Chain A
């Protein structure tokens, strides 16, 4: 595999792969943010007492967790975004698809985190005269958030790597440029290992950041 490894072709593509890395960081950051916000709504929807809030949230999570992200990206790109904008846009489609997908996983993290807090605490808070909303805000959420952080760390790291799938709609991120290198020279290890190294650096830094946040909270 490495007997004739060509560092020269990697060097040629370094500027493009780095440009791709910037896009990957931007796309991932936007999707993490949007996905977490949307996921919060869906997570509460899933826990709602009202069937008309619970049912759509359950369907949403089942759909986005149960179908391949690959297909979701194509459906968002050629379907949803085309329908909304009248043309296609790979960057908007990428952020939309990744956010929608991530929201489904985030919803479950929120739900699991909140439901992991002992019921007795809610009962105690309510009997002390706090309203349901106050109980959630001051008693349940501060504890639940702490339990959610490691799960979110997993989800965010997965999202960064999953963003490599958007090369199929030709968004010029890391994997896209790695594919260009692969096609030009018909060699697989130089482009794939270069891409892997860049993803590793990104996810490793993200992991460090999350550990820092975990310690602070």
Chain B
């Protein structure tokens, strides 16, 4: 009897959580979700969302002539909102992978994510292949996570996945791992901000395959057809390069993007 009661309570809880997710209408203003927790791509500046993705989205929506509202929903809710169509899209440095394509549609790739290895001075790690058998820290759900999981294997506990790069880098600093892998812009920024810690940056374009970010849509989204030409247009007319330079201080390699689709 007690067992049955408990099971009923559990099922009841689930039912409640199901009825709690209602559907929102999008109307004329497109609802876009983000997780503003990944500087310099998207982060909070006081109460404003800023970053490369924010400027990129603005340029794309202007190019397409569409109104939109960008909301910081957080990472988990963004997935659920977009999957159910409560939000029309998610823009949050989301890597395009085959596993994710099973549940979502993606825009054309709009950003090439190059990963870099961060080690301490004197480390014998010279390439991505040297990372096998070593302890490595990454931020969970990033391209570094995807790449390193591929290299080291899904169940490998030597690959430590943290909720943020801040924690992954701290773990490297404290000696809990031999290396950290993250997006090049983030690694460079961290090394620059911590000059006394004697970090060494290791690049390995050969073994780190190219990873691309895309706008996240619900399955069979109509928005994809409207925004893909706009993405192409801003890459061709130089607007994309302008935004890229503003955030990263260098010219983007747009040939890679157009070749990636």
Identify the A interface with B (CB < 8 A): 1-2, 4, 6, 15-16, 19, 74, 78, 82, 86-90, 167-170, 172, 176, 179-180, 182-189, 193, 200, 204
Contacts and interface: CB of A to CB of B under 8 A. Distances in A.
Interface string B128-162: 00000000010011000110010000110100111
A189 B79 CA distance: 10
Contacts of B170: 78
A183 B139 CA distance: 10
Nearest to B173: A78
Nearest to A93: B176
Contacts of B14: 193
Nearest to A89: B176
Nearest to A82: B174
A183 B155 contact: no
Contacts of B157: 172
Contacts of A176: 161
B69 to A, nearest CB: 22
B140 A179 contact: yes
B161 to A, nearest CB: 6
Query: On chain B, which size bracket covers the interface?
Result: 35 or more
Contact of A88 (B80, B103, B163, B175): B175
A80 to B, nearest CB: 12
Contact of B175 (A1, A74, A87, A183): A87
A82 B174 CA distance: 7
Contacts of B160: 90, 170
Interface string B6-19: 10001000100110
Contacts of A89: 176
Contacts of A179: 140, 161
Contacts of A168: 162-163, 167
Nearest to A187: B103
B149 to A, nearest CB: 7
B84 to A, nearest CB: 8
Interface string B71-90: 00000100110010000000
B162 A187 contact: no
A183 B79 contact: no
Given A1-B17, A78-B174, A179-B140, A186 B163 contact: no
Contacts of A169: 162, 167
B140 A180 contact: yes
Contacts of B76: 182, 188
